[in-house]
Amino acid sequence: MLLNDKVAVITGAASARGLGFATARLFAEQGARVAILDLDADAAAAAAAQLGDQHLGLAADVTNEHQVQQAIAEVINRYGRIDVLVNNAGITQPLKLMEIAQNNYDAVLDVSLRGTLLASQAVIPTMRAQGSGSIVCISSVSAQRGGGIFGGPHYSAAKAGVLGLAKAMARELGPDNIRVNAITPGLIQTDITAGKLTDEMRRNILAGIPLNRLGDALDVARAALFLGSDLSSYSTGITLDVNGGMLIH
């Protein structure tokens, strides 16, 4: 198994149809002990319980430094190490440029960008002490193409910031044998998109996707498994597109 004896932390992973839970389930199947971090303690615990008794669900608001540090300390106390962090937590808002108010900007930027920074800062000391680790940051094709589907411009900006942060962390943490990479999913079928696609929208979107289908959460989870495991042992600072060809550079 690709993650045998590894410990993985995944933020924003309690939603049954989300990218985070799909990643948590795949990681568990590959031998990892998984800690799910989410806003709701009961939801996080229930999600972890679905994976098995050896997994952990904890409440943490990724925008709150104290909560993140506390949750990571609990993971280390239980398992003794952290090998993989998946920065998955994020929110989106379908707003036009002139509709974005300060509270909208703060909410979206805080979860995606500040959350990625705080969770990464929390795990880096133990990864440095181990002399190894992998951090996977979930960005979005919206960061590359300038939105145009669901998220507003502030969502594109937040996810572009995640790409820049991931590359900067990769450069700084390489000497510590900590790899940092990003995934840019295209349009994935999750709770965020459920019920929002009309038949016409779906046809128009599919016309621009060479693989002629929307993505599934498992598509992204498999990419996270690649980056989190030793399969990608010589990859750091990369951006891995998972979009069916929606954006071909």
pLDDT in tens, the chain (249 residues): 999 999 999 999 999 999 999 999 999 999 999 999 999 999 999 999 999 999 999 999 999 999 999 999 999 999 999 999 999 999 999 999 999 999 999 999 999 999 999 999 999 999 999 999 999 999 999 999 998 778 999 999 999 999 999 999 999 999 999 999 999 999 998 866 666 678 888 898 899 999 999 999 999 999 999 999 999 999 999 999 999 999 998
Pairing of strands 178-185, 239-242: parallel
Structural domain includes residue 164: yes
List beta partners, residue 87: 137
Distance between CA atoms of 20 and 24, rounded to whole angstroms? 6
Please tell me the total count of domains within the chain. Answer: 1
Per the listing, tokens 């952990």 go with: 56
In a domain, 66, yes or no: yes
Q: How many CA atoms lie within 13 A of 53 on its CB side?
A: 0
Which structural domain range is residue 152 located in?
7-241
What pLDDT, on a 0 to 100 scale, did the predictor assign at position 149?
79
Q: Which of 90, 10, 112, 87 is nearest to 51 (CA)?
A: 10
Please give the pLDDT value at position 208. 92
155 in catalytic set: yes
* The token pair that represents 46 in the structure block: 């229930």
Taking the C-alpha atoms of residue 222 and residue 86, their distance in angstroms, rounded to an integer, is 12
147, part of any domain: yes
Question: Is 2 part of a structural domain of the chain?
Answer: no
Biggest CA pair distance of the chain: 53
CATH number at residue 35: 3.40.50.720
Please indicate, yes or no, if residue 218 is contained in any of the structural domains. Answer: yes
Q: What is the pLDDT of residue 183?
A: 98
Tokens 């599934």 belong to 216
Q: Could you give the angle at the alpha carbon of 205 between the alpha carbons of 201 and 211, nearest 5°?
A: 145
Distance CA 129, CA 15 (A): 32
Residue 12 lies in a domain: yes
1: in domain: no
Closest CA to 27 of 1, 60, 58, 56: 1
pLDDT given for residue 150 in this prediction: 82
Instruction: Report the candidate in 26, 28, 23 with the shortest Cα–Cα distance to residue 12.
Output: 23
248 part of a folded domain: no
